[in-house]
Every structure is written in C-alpha cells, then in structure tokens.
C-alpha cells in the first residue's frame, strides 16, 4: 500500500489481490467438502441457489459435480464470479468485492483436475441460510427501507424494439433528509427485460411555477445492487419532490403484465447533515464535438476529461456500455506535475453485469482541485468479441440495445480545502501506523 504523494493526489492504492481465504496445503488432497464448499458459500451461492438468478444451483456436491469442468473454465478465465475488475492495476481495496483470490482459483482448478473428489462429508461446512430473494439488498445491513418509490405499471409486449417508460411519481417526503442508501429492485418477471431504470429528482420552482430537475437520485442497470452514501456526506432527498423515471425495457419473448419497478431508500437520522454533498452523475467519455462510431469488424477508443473547482473524493466507479464495450479505465492527471495515475481498470467488461466498484473507506481517491479525471473506453465490433451480436453492422452512439454508449457513473463527494487536508492527514497517519505495526 502507498500514498501517491508525488502526484499531490492522496490515492491510497492497495496493489494486492483480494484477501485470500484459507486454501489447501500441499499436505492433503483437495476435496469439495474441506476446501471447495467454503469457497462456493462465500462467492457463488448468493446467486447459484434455488430461485435465484444463477442458471443452476451450486449448494451441494451433487449439484456441483456435473458442472465441475465448466466451473473451472469460468473461474480460470475470470468470467465467474461476475466481478470484472482487473487485478494488480490501480486500487484493489474495494467494498463487496466478489473476486476469488488467486489461491482460491488454483484450489478449484486443482480439485477439478484431480477428478473433483467429494472427500469426507464430515468436513462440510454447515449450510448457509440466505435472505429471501424478495427482500431488499440492504435489508440485513439497514433493515427495511424507510421509503419505497414505485413506477406506474407498464405492460411490455413479448416482441418488438427497445421501449422507454418515463412515468413521474411522488416521493412522499414531507421534509428534507439525507439518503443513507438506495437500491432499485425490478420485479421477478421483469428483471431480464429491464436493461436500466434511472431516476431524477424534480422540485417545484415557485417563481416559474414549474417542476424542474434538482439532481440525480439513482441509477440501476442489470447486475447492480445499489449505492451507499458515506456517513460524512449527504445526498439530499427534498421534501415534496417528485421522481421522474427513465426505464429502458427490451422484450424477452413473453408478455410482462403491469410491471412495476421499486426503489428502496434508507435515510440517515433527521439531524444528520453530512459535512459534504455527494452526487452521482454520468461522466461522458466523448470529447466535445466527437462521436462514437464503430465500423463493421472494427474497434474504437473514446476518452473524456473532467475536473472540479474544489477537492473531491471519488466514492465509486461504474463503467457503462452495451455489447461492443470491452474495457474502461479511470485515471487521474495532475496538471501541476504532469503525472498520470491509474485508479481503476476493467478490461473484460460485459453488458450482463453493471457493477458499481465502491472504493473502501481508506482507498477512495482524494483528488485536489484542478486535477483531471481521465476516463477511457475501448470498443470491439469484431467477431473476436464473444458478446457482439453482429460484427457486420455499423454501430453508433445511441440508447437502443443495438447502439453503443460511452460514459461512466461516478459517485463524487465534494470537499473543501480544510476537509481535503484533514482526510489526507488522517489517511497518511493510518498508513504510517500500519507500517510500524508490520513485523
């Protein structure tokens, strides 16, 4: 771990892989019961269990054994678990990181190569109990949502083109409050059809007597869990506000009757103000006047630059695109020194999983005023891109599933000079303490 002080950017970088669970030693045979089942419980069964989104259940040896070779292939190539954040590039200390450690990957590979032995059933860990699939994402952490905001019902035809549903619904708030967390939950029948469900807050302007946009409330895309606002920040939910939804559906071959998407909102206590304001915004990767255009069997790169008048903390980074996006990076450029620091890299991105990579508290980049976010996207319209539906097509920028997009969702906490300097000092003090405590 180190502080990038040479850049003037207080980014605490952890270049190690995620913490490894205990793995088998060379002294004993790798078995499912003793070595593999604990890995599956920690990283796989959340999705691969009865009724969940995984295509098969992986809770018992009998369920796992027929898929052993396929599991090894998906794990070794990094396709599963579906967390496509690059190792050993930029910040590695992340919240809710689903990646397997290298030793866990080696254990699964060795187990499969040895014939996937069961081992002694007495070595099996106790079965896990998971929350009901209808429960909210943060229910175990924060309890039930303080507020649930729903779209108006929409019936989606079985076939056809992309559909956008943009209802406006009230929040029901009677006072201003700071948001602790927010999670969007598609209906069980509409989950596969809901590509995204974004929302903005509207407030009533007394002077113009019109509803005007206040700020972004939330963003959801397939695979995203939600967002948690740090305790020192506030993302405000105003009283008497409205929510304007932007729901993107794509027909799945079955009629979906009266589909409703729900948003759960957890609130900080009434007296919580937060030292700083946080917001979630779309940061474009297209320079002014530029376009995104992919010729048949071609590739492309887009790049965007964003700076701030005040110091900021980058709380999360979420690449967004469609079938031709294959990679995205976030860097920070310091114009005072000319240095460029890599923060995050996702080089095997997939449209199936829109993951928001949330930096751990002591690793979230602290960016001084004037420094520049450099966001780069890489696109592949060739047959070599296995998620490409048709490499013979010209592809341009657009909102349809067949089009492409070029942006990233980034949560930013806006600091002042005093707060920035204090956070930098506290981080350097903790780093120095950790260094002295190491043997």
Per-residue pLDDT reduced to its tens digit, 210-261? 898 888 999 998 878 899 999 999 999 999 999 999 999 999 999 999 999 9
Q: Are residue 351 and residue 316 in the same domain, yes or no?
A: yes
pTM of the entire structure?
0.84
User: Where is 433: in which H helix or E strand?
Assistant: helix 417-437
Under DSSP, is residue 178 helix (H, G, I), strand (E, B) or coil? Answer: strand
Q: Is the pLDDT of residue 79 over 90?
A: no
Residue 38 lies in a domain: yes
Task: Give the phi and the psi of residue 363 in degrees, each rounded to 5.
Answer: -120, -10
Residue 116 lies in a domain: yes
Q: Are residue 185 and residue 301 in the same domain, yes or no?
A: no
* pLDDT tens digits for range 111-149: 999 999 999 999 999 998 876 767 898 998 999 999 999
* pLDDT tens digits for range 287-340: 776 789 999 999 999 999 999 999 999 999 999 999 999 999 999 999 999 999
Question: Residue 410 and residue 408: Cα distance in Å, rounded?
Answer: 6
In this prediction, residue 438 carries a pLDDT of 67
Q: Are residue 178 and residue 117 in the same domain, yes or no?
A: no
Residue 245 lies in a domain: yes
Domain residues for 48? 2-123
**How far is CA 438 from each of CA 3, 12, 35, 433, 434, rounded to the nearest angstrom?**
17, 17, 29, 9, 6
Q: What is residue 157's DSSP assignment?
A: P
Under DSSP, is residue 211 helix (H, G, I), strand (E, B) or coil? Answer: strand
**How far is CA 341 from each of CA 65, 158, 276, 332, 377, rounded to the nearest angstrom?**
44, 47, 25, 5, 16
Identify the CATH number of the domain in which residue 351 sits.
Answer: 2.60.120.230
Q: Are residue 288 and residue 416 in the same domain, yes or no?
A: yes
Q: Are residue 391 and residue 368 in the same domain, yes or no?
A: yes
Q: Are residue 269 and residue 291 in the same domain, yes or no?
A: no
Q: Are residue 46 and residue 149 in the same domain, yes or no?
A: no
Residue 436 lies in a domain: no
Under DSSP, is residue 25 helix (H, G, I), strand (E, B) or coil? Answer: coil
User: Per the structure, how many domains does the chain have?
Assistant: 3
In this prediction, residue 11 carries a pLDDT of 45
Task: Give the phi and the psi of residue 162 in degrees, each rounded to 5.
Answer: -60, 145
Residue 213 lies in a domain: yes
Sequence-distant (≥ 6) Cβ neighbours of residue 390 within 8 angstroms: none
Confidence of residue 22 (pLDDT cuts 50, 70, 90): very low
Q: Are residue 157 and residue 237 in the same domain, yes or no?
A: yes
**Helices and strands in the chain: count of H runs, count of E runs:** 6, 26
Tokens found for residue 79: 């396709």
């Amino acid at each position: 771990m180190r502080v990038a002080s040479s850049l003037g950017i207080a980014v605490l970088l952890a270049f190690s892989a995620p913490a490894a669970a205990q793995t088998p030693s060379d002294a004993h045979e790798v078995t499912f019961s003793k070595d593999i089942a604990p890995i599956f419980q920690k990283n796989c069964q959340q999705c691969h269990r009865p009724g969940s989104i995984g295509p098969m259940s992986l809770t018992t040896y009998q369920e796992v054994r027929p898929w052993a070779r396929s599991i090894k292939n998906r794990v070794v190539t990094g396709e599963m678990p579906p967390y496509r954040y690059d190792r050993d590039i930029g910040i590695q200390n992340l919240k809710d990181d689903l990646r397997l450690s290298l030793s866990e990957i080696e254990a699964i590979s060795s187990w499969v190569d040895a014939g996937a032995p069961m081992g002694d059933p007495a070595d099996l860990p106790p079965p896990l109990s998971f929350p009901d699939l209808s429960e909210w994402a943060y229910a175990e952490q924060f309890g039930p949502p303080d507020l649930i905001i729903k779209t108006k019902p929409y019936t989606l035809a079985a076939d056809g083109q992309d559909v956008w549903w943009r209802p406006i619904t009230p929040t029901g708030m009677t006072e201003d409050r700071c948001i602790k967390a927010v999670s969007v939950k598609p209906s069980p029948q509409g989950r596969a059809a809901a590509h995204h469900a974004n929302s903005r807050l509207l407030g009533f302007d007394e002077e113009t007597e019109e509803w005007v946009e206040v700020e972004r409330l939330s963003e959801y895309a397939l695979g995203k869990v939600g967002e948690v606002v740090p305790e020192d920040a506030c993302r405000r939910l105003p009283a008497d506000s409205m929510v304007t939804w932007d729901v993107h559906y794509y027909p799945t071959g079955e009629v979906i009757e009266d589909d409703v998407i729900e948003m759960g909102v957890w609130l900080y206590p009434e007296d919580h103000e937060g030292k700083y304001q946080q917001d979630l915004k779309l940061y474009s990767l297209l320079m002014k006047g530029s376009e995104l255009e992919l010729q048949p069997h071609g590739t492309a790169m887009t790049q965007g630059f964003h700076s701030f008048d005040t110091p900021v903390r980058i709380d999360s980074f979420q690449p967004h695109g469609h079938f031709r996006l294959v990679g995205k990076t976030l860097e920070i450029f310091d114009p005072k020194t000319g240095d460029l620091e890599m923060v995050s890299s996702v080089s095997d991105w997939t449209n199936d999983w829109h993951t928001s990579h949330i930096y751990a508290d002591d690793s979230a980049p602290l960016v001084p005023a004037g420094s520049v976010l450099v966001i780069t996207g890489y696109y592949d319209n060739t047959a070599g891109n296995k998620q490409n539906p048709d490499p013979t097509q010209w592809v341009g920028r657009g909102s349809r599933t067949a089009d492409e997009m070029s942006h990233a969702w980034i949560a930013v906490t806006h600091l002042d000079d005093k707060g920035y300097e204090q956070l930098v000092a506290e981080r350097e003090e903790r780093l120095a303490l950790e260094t002295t405590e190491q043997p």
